[in-house]
Structure 1
Amino acid sequence: MLLHLIFDVLAWLTSLATILILRRTWFPVSPVSEKLRFGYLGAVLFGAATGAWLFGTLNLWVSGIHEFGRSIEGALAGAILSIELYKRSYGISARTGAIYALPVALGIAVGRIGCLLSGLEDNTYGIPTGANWGWDFGDGINRHPVALYESVAMFAFALIYAHRIRQGSDYWRQNGFYLLVCFYGFERFLLEFLKPYGALMAGLGVFQYLSILLLAYGVAMIASNPWKQSRSAESIGR
């Protein structure tokens, strides 16, 4: 679990460093007024922490594991909900999340490596597999390295996103965060079939239902923000 903690810290540091770089390069203008930024940050952290522990623990209990757990997907969903409520409360109409697409993708990619190296203790291993790339987490059974699958997927998204932004794509600038949410929800929904978690309802697990909600959110936000190439890049946000 020490390895997991180390990579959790590295994931947060990676995300923070990426945000600082992007604020000085691709996204120099913040759509949140200075007097509301502290509260905005507090909403992000509160929502992420609450969602991580709530959904992580719920999934373990549904699976018959009566322990406390944490979830990256739960953290993402909690942060989104908390921010949307905060924005509504303070009348913030601007989209504010464009800058977070790359930091979140890289943070998940780094954090999942910690899950992979933590073995069975982390409860993020996959179901048994006969594939040559199966991973022995310490119990002598080759399993799907689902954390590695997710890490590779998110690194791939980060590369594609960075490439499209460098090419000057206004569409990716405007909708990058929602594209990330859609991509993550989709790949996470599929990967849950390779994990030994219990079903919540109709054969689907907690995270699969959460993935459906994230997909719906991402699609709805993209649909409500049609691509207009004439928009100023500085006004783009979540």
Structure 2
Amino acid sequence: MLAIPTAPWAHGLFDILAWAASALTGTVLHRWRLREAAERLSRVTGPGYFAALAAGALAGAWAMGSINSLRMTTPMVSHSIAGALAGAIVAVEGYKWAAGIKGSTGTAFVGPLAIGIVFGRWGCLFAGLPDRTYGVPTALPWAVDLGDGIGRHPVEVYESLALFAFLLVFVIALAARQSWAYRRSFYVLAGWYGVQRFAWEFLKPYPMLIGPLNIFHLLCLGLVAYGCAFYAADRRRERATARRGAVPVLRRDDEPV
């Protein structure tokens, strides 16, 4: 069992590191491979897009986090990265539908979001038991003691490593100029986040909502469904465009190509 030094302020420190790493990653990827994707995004979206993204993320984060934490032994309001991701997706896809924007607009956010979670989850770990993101007890050799003498699954580390693995695959795919990395990587990220988070939720002492599933299990199933459905739809658009011999372009419905 590994004894982990914890302190409530650690979460804030790692949040700062996460934001810094996100900004740096976004800048590097933009200059290296994603300048064109960012330029396409700026051409077809307006201020309303980013307002919808921010509002959806904020609402989703606090709504989903609080639905879970208010049902715990000591009720309290809280926020959740899974809720923020789901809320942002709902708000942005709604905005895109209203504006007639086709195709993925999330490629530029993939790297920053992934690295942000990689760093942020370590903050959850070092914040200790008050953060309420700890795992259930286990006797595994890598169990962590967060100050109460009980060995627990380091679920925060599991999630961090899972997102780091995705980030490596994403960067390798960008280097190889694979189509999915440029066109559909956000859908892959949403699906992968949902799959890995769904697994770790069984290792958390959260209140059940339906059978053995908690609110985040259901949220993750939604993320997986979204990723798969939108990936398949964009793949069909890409094939149809290729058959017509045209270059695929992110666009509004009323814009000529």
The one-letter amino acid of 2:31's match is R
> 1:200 corresponds to which residue?
209
Greater shift after overlay, 40-49 or 14-23?
14-23
The share of aligned pairs that are identical, in percent, is 40
Q: CA deviation at 1:33?
A: 4.2
Q: CA deviation at 1:88?
A: 2.1
Conserved? CA contact 2:136–2:205, under 8 Å? yes
Conserved? CA contact 1:64–1:198, under 8 Å? no
Query: Is 1:23 the equivalent of 2:30?
Result: yes
> 1:127 corresponds to which residue?
136
> 2:12 corresponds to which residue?
5
CA offsets 1:41-90 (integer angstroms, 9 cap, x no match): 22222111111111111111233331011111011111111111122232
**Separation of aligned partners in 1, 2:26 and 2:46:** 14
CA offsets 1:202-222 (integer angstroms, 9 cap, x no match): 220000000000000000001
Greater shift after overlay, 46-55 or 123-132?
46-55
Whichever of the two has the greater Rg, that structure is 2
CA offsets 1:171-201 (integer angstroms, 9 cap, x no match): 2322211111111100000100000001011
Greater shift after overlay, 191-200 or 27-36?
27-36
* TM-score, length-scaled by structure 2: 0.85
Alignment map for 1:115-154 (pairs within 5 Å): 115-154=124-163
> 2:47 corresponds to which residue?
38
> 2:5 corresponds to which residue?
none
> 2:228 corresponds to which residue?
219
3-state SS of 1:79 partner = helix
- CA RMSD for the aligned pairs? 2.1
Alignment length (residue pairs)? 236
Q: In structure 1, which of residues 184, 189, 196 is the aligned counterpart of residue 198 of structure 2?
A: 189
Where do 5+ consecutive residues of structure 1 fail to align? none
**Separation of aligned partners in 1, 2:16 and 2:54:** 14
Q: CA deviation at 1:232?
A: 5.0
CA offsets 1:7-29 (integer angstroms, 9 cap, x no match): 12222232233223333331213
**Separation of aligned partners in 2, 1:236 and 1:15:** 24
The one-letter amino acid of 2:151's match is N
Q: In structure 1, which of residues 48, 60, 63 is the aligned counterpart of residue 69 of structure 2?
A: 60
**Separation of aligned partners in 1, 2:102 and 2:40:** 9
**Separation of aligned partners in 2, 1:67 and 1:172:** 39
